[in-house]
Structure 1
């Protein structure tokens, strides 16, 4: 398929990232700073992104890079979108739910993505047209498929933070949605979307995200049979927020989250 080589290369990047992140996880001398947006950043975040950028500069010198810690680099149709540690708050507190996100965009479409969560001993990946997969490696994988739940009363919803919904003026709408669902849990960050791709969760939504938070997630959700849009209904990771569902529930959830 068109992006098989890119996907294999993304796994190489993820292998290198895993060595960096696991090596510093729960380290007694882990250095943690606070960024301008009041979120934490560790020396592991920075070192991991630097390592990925070095490999990209050697192996894919014509490709651009979008990274959480060091911004944009290069131009052109192809861009690698990197979040070195998604779930830094978990990482710095010793909670094992965090991952490196690696997405490849061609023009404005994400064509491949890898989510690597080494402390969970799990990885998820997808390329356009090849399905979504999970396992410990390319040679040890099983297919991801979303659920077939088609009623909100039977649906499981995952989110990250109630305060963000309040800050964005959608708390009432979001709480009404939670009341309509069978179950709600704040699994948070990448984990919500990977559980969706696994069929364990039916809805995942967040009201404030960056491109690097979402790019790698999009092809995995879509290739597992789900839908990924902004809260405006526009497909893909460009809206600054996210709604991912198994498909049958999407339009109803989207309508419920609109501000009245």
Structure 2
């Protein structure tokens, strides 16, 4: 019989995911700012031994606890099938890791029949760990966190990540309007602006070029902190998701309406 996503099961799986993140952190921190070879993958992104070895460590922990679960990892791909799928990016932000600044993280999420049900986001270089499971609230270093209460865009802070696709689309002018109206704009990127959003440090995050492995765990954390997390079209996340719109409910709704049709007409 297939396991069910009960609170008890998810609490147990969350602890396993935290153990996996800690195992990865030991490897990553041993390499960070040291000497290591950097290989360029087919998509022009870098990969190091730290990426490969930390994903192997994560897979070892997860499969020891759940040998029947499938895993989709950034470095070793998708293995297994069934109702449960672990999504793993051992070092999200490898370019930052390679260049010696701490804007990188380990992302581990669990999906049940297409629904994201738990996530762990570990930033080993700064010792920051966030986690959440469906219905259990969100935590940063063991402390409960919540998104900031709704407030007008004019007194809100927006952070942007990768925007290459949006920059080439009609929605770029919509973004310009948000920039003009917002109180503050930042470009924290990677895991950091999602941690800030979940703990009430900023109010809206917009990205147009991501991979589901980059954001799956962060989506669970933001949602359990009281935020709304979708793609730029307002759609639910899937393995094919490449954009993000995340924030408190009011700002998310305003932005979702403003960005409707942001790509323009399809040729």
Shorter-chain TM-score: what band?
over 0.9
CA positional deviation for 1:165: 2.5
Q: Which residue of 2 aligns with 1:150?
A: 151
Q: Which residue of 2 aligns with 1:117?
A: 123
Establish whether residue 173 from structure 1 lines up as the match of residue 180 from structure 2.
Answer: no
Kept in 1: contact 2:55–2:88 (CA 8 A)? yes
Establish whether residue 208 from structure 1 lines up as the match of residue 215 from structure 2.
Answer: no
1:41-98 CA-partner distances (Å, limit 9, x unpaired): 2221111112212222332110000111111000000011001011111111111121
Q: Which residue of 1 aligns with 2:49?
A: 43
Within 1, Cα distance between the matches of 2:33 and 2:238? 31
Specify the SS of the correspondent of 1:120.
Answer: coil
User: Mean Cα displacement is larger for which, 152-161 or 77-86?
Assistant: 152-161
Kept in 2: contact 1:230–1:240 (CA 8 A)? yes
The 3 A distance-change label for structure 1 pair 183 and 112 is same
1:198-233 CA-partner distances (Å, limit 9, x unpaired): 100100111122221111111100110000001111
Within 2, Cα distance between the matches of 1:218 and 1:163? 21
Kept in 1: contact 2:17–2:62 (CA 8 A)? no
Q: Aligned match of 1:14 in 15, 21, 25?
A: 21
Within 2, Cα distance between the matches of 1:164 and 1:23? 35
Q: What is the aligned residue count?
A: 254
- RMSD (CA atoms): 1.5
Q: Which residue of 2 aligns with 1:79?
A: 85
Q: Which residue of 2 aligns with 1:254?
A: 256
Specify the SS of the correspondent of 2:250.
Answer: coil
* Structure 2 gaps, min length 5: 1-6
The 3 A distance-change label for structure 1 pair 223 and 179 is same
Specify the SS of the correspondent of 2:249.
Answer: coil
CA positional deviation for 1:130: 0.8
* Structure 1 gaps, min length 5: 136-140
Q: Which residue of 2 aligns with 1:160?
A: 161
CA positional deviation for 1:256: 2.1
Q: Which residue of 1 aligns with 2:12?
A: 5
Specify the SS of the correspondent of 2:116.
Answer: strand
